[in-house]
């Protein structure tokens, strides 16, 4: 009996010793995992902080990258920051800068990447310096592309903004409104200046006309033109991507665009009929068709009934869409691209009829532009940040 008891006690001692050893090992591993996780968090936070340092410098001056290679420490976490100009095509791309922040802490390393852009006006799905009197985003409205106004944004109910919304005013109108801003909202943002059209008008190699001009784009990459006593057909690709008038002359435009071109008027642009891309960017995001419509004064819809426009539209003055005829039902005005303006003349309360505007974002315009499209020189946008 005594021997048996000794054997049992010895067995329990072995078992308990194993349990204690396993518990000690488990606790040691848990403590080690906690330490490792803590080091990872410090490395991650340091990477985000370092990226923010680089972003702040780009916001100060997107053209000055002399600081690239900056290094230092955050609470014993070492970091280095590099900035690289990744723009490959200054004609059809706005300037993009990539920031890479690398950090190490103890045995852990991490990184953060951000891409910032000096946007063209075409970057904003909707841009207006002064908010249109009769434009209100309401419940059921969804704007997919970025929006900027120097004015207060008028809304009603719960409209949805998928991309970033920015306003020079500190509040929505009314201030207690409840929009869904999934891309973030920057209220009280820096105002955007009026577009500078001189770089386009001075670019060499353009197809230039001294009289009023009527353009009809064709699906084969050509366009028919009529200007005073001149008329004929030309290739889009032959003229450096720019067609323009001088001497304060208007341009009328319509057709199917196959290629990349920016149409510039020193006066007004009239859209006489539908103008669409040969390769629709909504069904093919790899489409290479781009149209810019840039007017020193107004862009005017010059057609009754439904209208579809594929283009980045920019004017220094007013977007006008007088509905002809006596139809009391609003007609659809569909714009696939972007709309930039000083203000907007909505004649709904002046004549019978009118247009219901549907503005659809062209996702390609987040990084591409029509040829030589005006750039916003006093603003930087962040278009990518690693998670």
CB atoms within 10 A of CB 367: 19
Sorted by sequence, the CB contacts under 8 Å of residue 316 that are 6+ apart come out as: 194, 195, 197, 295, 296, 297, 342
pLDDT of amino acid 344: 80
- The three state secondary structure string of 286-339 is CCCCEEEEEECCCEEECCCCCEEEEEEEEECCEEECCCCCCCCCCEEEEEEEEE
Residues of the chain predicted below pLDDT 70: 1-29, 322-329, 346-354
Could you tell me which of 171, 147, 179 has the C-alpha nearest to residue 340? 147
Give dist(CA 322, CA 342) in Å, integer. Answer: 17
Contact 92/120 with Cβ under 8 angstroms?
Answer: no
Give dist(CA 269, CA 214) in Å, integer. Answer: 10
Contact 293/301 with Cβ under 8 angstroms?
Answer: no
Q: In angstroms, what CA-CA distances link 46 with 65, 73, 381, 383, 387?
A: 21, 8, 23, 21, 14
Q: Which helix (H) or strand (E) holds 358?
A: strand 355-361
Domain-wise residue ranges, the chain? 2-118, 121-376
Give dist(CA 145, CA 149) in Å, integer. Answer: 13
pLDDT of amino acid 352: 45
pLDDT of amino acid 306: 87
Q: What's the whole-model pTM score?
A: 0.85
DSSP annotation string for 236-290: GGGTTTEEEE-TT--EEEEEEE-SEEEEEESS-EEEEEEEEESS-TTT-TT---E
Give dist(CA 131, CA 118) in Å, integer. Answer: 23
pLDDT of amino acid 194: 85
Give dist(CA 201, CA 197) in Å, integer. Answer: 6
Beta bridge partners of 300: 270, 320
Q: What are phi and psi of 213, to 5 degrees?
A: -135, 135
Question: What pLDDT digit, counting tens, does each position of 334-374 carry?
Answer: 999 999 999 887 554 434 456 778 899 999 998 899 999 99
pLDDT of amino acid 35: 77
Q: How many CA atoms lie within 13 A of 101 on its CB side?
A: 27
């Amino acid at each position: 009996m005594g021997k048996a008891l000794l054997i049992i006690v010895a067995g329990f001692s072995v078992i308990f010793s194993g349990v204690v050893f396993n518990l000690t090992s488990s606790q040691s591993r848990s403590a080690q995992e906690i330490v490792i996780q803590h080091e990872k968090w410090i490395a991650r936070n340091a990477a985000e902080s370092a990226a923010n340092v680089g972003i702040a410098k780009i916001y100060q001056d997107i053209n000055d990258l002399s600081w690239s290679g900056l290094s230092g420490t955050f609470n014993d976490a070492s970091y280095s920051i590099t900035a690289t100009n990744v723009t490959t095509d200054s004609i059809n791309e706005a300037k993009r800068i990539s920031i890479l922040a690398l950090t190490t802490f103890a045995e852990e390393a991490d990184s953060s990447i951000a891409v910032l852009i000096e946007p063209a006006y075409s970057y904003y799905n909707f841009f207006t310096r002064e908010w249109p009197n009769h434009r209100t985003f309401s419940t059921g409205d969804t704007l997919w592309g970025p929006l900027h106004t120097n004015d207060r944004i008028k809304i009603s109910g719960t409209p949805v903004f998928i991309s970033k919304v920015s306003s020079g005013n500190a509040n929505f109108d009314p201030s207690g409104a409840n929009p869904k801003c999934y891309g973030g909202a920057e209220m009280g943002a820096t105002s955007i200046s009026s577009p500078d059209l001189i770089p386009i008008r001075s670019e060499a190699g353009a197809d230039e006309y001294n009289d009023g001009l009527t353009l009809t784009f064709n699906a084969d990459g050509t366009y028919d033109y009529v200007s005073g006593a001149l008329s004929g057909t030309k290739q889009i690709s032959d003229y450096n991507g720019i067609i323009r008038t001088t001497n304060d002359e208007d341009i009328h435009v319509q057709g199917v665009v196959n290629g990349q071109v920016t149409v510039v008027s020193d006066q007004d642009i009239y859209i006489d009929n539908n103008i669409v891309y040969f390769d629709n960017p909504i069904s093919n995001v790899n489409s290479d068709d781009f149209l810019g419509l840039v007017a020193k004064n107004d862009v005017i819809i010059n057609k009754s009934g439904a209208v579809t426009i594929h283009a980045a539209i920019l004017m220094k003055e007013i977007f006008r869409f007088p509905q002809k005829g006596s139809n009391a039902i609003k007609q659809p005005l569909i714009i696939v691209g972007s709309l930039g303006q000083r203000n907007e003349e909505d004649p709904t309360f002046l004549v019978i009829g009118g247009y219901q505007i549907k503005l659809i974002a062209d996702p390609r315009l987040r990084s591409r532009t029509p040829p030589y499209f005006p750039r916003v020189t006093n603003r930087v946008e962040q278009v990518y940040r690693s998670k």
